[in-house]
Amino acid sequence: MELKEKLLSSFMAFEEKIDFHQELHDVRSQAIKNFESKGFPTKKEESWKYTSLNTILKNDFSVFPKKENTIEFAEVKKYFLHEIDTYKVVFIDGIFSSFLSSTSHDGLDVCLMSSGLNKPKYKMYIDEYFNKIASKEESLTSLNTAFASEGAYINIPKSKVVEKPIEIIYFSTGSEAALMVQPRNLVIVGENAHVQIIERHQSLNDNPVLTNSVTEIFAQKRAIVDYYKIQNDVQTANLIDNTYIAQKQESHVSVHTFSFGGNITRNNLNFYHQGERIDSTLKGVTIIGDKQHVDHYTLVQHATPNCESHQNYKTILDGSSTGVFNGKIFVEREAQKTDAFQKNNNILLSDKATINAKPQLEIFADDVKCSHGCTIGQLDENAMFYMQQRGIPKKEAKALLMYAFTSEVTGSIKIPELRSKIARIIADKLGVKMGFDL
C-alpha cells in the first residue's frame, strides 16, 4: 500500500483513539480532505521544483509506533546542551518521555500538545492560536494538522523573561523498520516576554525515518524570540520542517537553522507581520556532502509599515550533494518604509555538487529599501596559498576559510554554549580539530 493510501485509511482509526472535540474534528477533517486532494508535493509545483520526495515515499513507513520505547540518558547525553541548565521537552518515536524531560513549574506553560488539545484549561489558547497561521493550502502541513496530537506546547506569560533555554528534542529509536512521525509545536510568547528555544530531531540508528513537523509561533507586542534548529541527523533520516511565525508590533523574532545531516531536508520558514516596527531575522548554515539534499524555502510577508527583515544563508556543498535556496520577500502596498535584506552565499567544493538559488522580491510599496544577492563559487585559492605560505597545512587552511565563511551567521547565536556546540559540529563536518570556538 502506498503511503498516501495508508495515511488516509489510518485517519479514522486515529480519530477514534483520541479525545473527541467537534471543533478539532472539523479542522482535522478539512485538513485530511486537502491532503487527499493534493497528495504529496511533486516537482511539478513551483515551490518544490528542485526537491523530489519519490525516493523517500518508496519506504514502507509505519504511521504509528507499535510500542512505547525507552532510552537511557547516557545514550543521548551528547545531543543535549548539557553545559548549562535547560528546560527539556523530549519525545521518543513521537511519544513524550517524562524520564528524559525536565519542564517548568515557575509560571510557564512548557508542556505537551496533547495536554493543550485535550484539557479544558487550555481551550481558550487552542481556540485562538492552533492552526491559525499554518498554511491551509500546503499539503504536508494539512497532513500534519489532520494527525496533530503530540509535540511541545509553550506559553510564555506577559513580561516573563525565561531564564533558561528550552530544548525540544525528538528521538527516533529505529525500532520500526521505517517510521513516519508528525510532531506539532505551538509557541505563544506574551507581550514583553523573552524566550530562547532549541529544536532537534535525531535518529539513533540507520532505519529510515520521515518527520513531517509543523511549528506555529506567535510573538505578541515587544516579545523577543530566539529559535535555533539543529539538523545533524543520520543519512537515512528525512525531515520536512514547516514553521509559521506571526509577529505583533515591535516584536523581534530570529530563527537560525543549522543543516548538517540527513538524507533530504526541507525547511519551510514563513514570517507574517501584523504590526509596525517588527524585526525578523532568518539565518542558516548548511554543510553537506555525499548525496545529501537540503532545501530552504523562506517567505517574509511585509504587510505593515516601518518593519525590517534580514535573511542570510551560507551553504557549503561537497560530494554529489544538492542545495536549494528559494527566498521570497513580499511587500504589500501598505508596508511603506520597509527595510528588507536577503543574502545567499554558496561554496561548491566538488564539481558534482549542485546549488539551485532563486531569491525573489515582490514589492507593491514605493517607499522601501529592499535588496537581495546571491553568490556561487569556490574557496579563494589566493587566500589558501597565503595561509600555506605561513605554515598552515592545507586541510587546516581550508577549514579556517570555511569557518570564516560561516561566522557571519554563527556569530549571532546568543547562547554561548550553543555557539560552541555548533562550532564543534562544524569542525567535525570539516574533519578537523580546531583550537578555538566560533
Q: Dihedral, CA atoms, 123, 127, 128, 134, nearest 10 degrees?
A: 130
H/E run at residue 430: helix 416-430
Residue 23 has pLDDT above 80, yes or no: no
What per-residue confidence (pLDDT) applies to 396?
Answer: 79
Residue 120 has pLDDT above 60, yes or no: yes
Give 218-248 pLDDT, tens digit per residue. 999 999 999 999 999 999 999 999 999 999 9
Contact 224, 151 (CB under 8 A): no
Residue with cell 510568547: 189
What global pTM score does this model have? 0.94
Give 388's pLDDT tier (boundaries 50, 70, 90). Answer: confident
What per-residue confidence (pLDDT) applies to 14?
Answer: 84
Give 414's pLDDT tier (boundaries 50, 70, 90). Answer: very high
As a whole number, the mean pLDDT across the chain is 91
- Cα separation, 409 vs 352, in Å, equals 26
- Cα separation, 183 vs 140, in Å, equals 12
Assign 116 to helix, strand or coil. helix
What per-residue confidence (pLDDT) applies to 244?
Answer: 98
Residue 436 has pLDDT above 60, yes or no: no
Give the Cβ contact number of residue 433 at 10 Å.
10
Give 402's pLDDT tier (boundaries 50, 70, 90). Answer: confident
Give 268-317 pLDDT, tens digit per residue. 999 999 999 999 999 999 999 999 999 999 999 999 999 999 999 999 99
Residue 434 has pLDDT above 90, yes or no: no
More reliable by pLDDT, 372 or 335: 335
Residue 119 has pLDDT above 50, yes or no: yes
Give 309-359 pLDDT, tens digit per residue. 999 999 999 999 999 999 999 999 999 999 999 999 999 999 999 999 998
Assign 110 to helix, strand or coil. strand
What per-residue confidence (pLDDT) applies to 438?
Answer: 42
Report the share of the chain in percent with pLDDT over 90: 70
What per-residue confidence (pLDDT) applies to 278?
Answer: 98
- Cα separation, 277 vs 336, in Å, equals 11
More reliable by pLDDT, 114 or 376: 376
Residue with cell 513521537: 94
Max CA pair span of the chain: 72
Residue 437 has pLDDT above 70, yes or no: no
Assign 139 to helix, strand or coil. helix
More reliable by pLDDT, 427 or 370: 370
Closest CA to 184 of 130, 135, 137, 234: 130
The CA-CA-CA angle for residues 269, 273, 279, to 5°, reads 85
Which range is least confidently modeled, 24-33, 97-106, 307-316, 319-328? 97-106
Average pLDDT score over residue span 85-102: 91
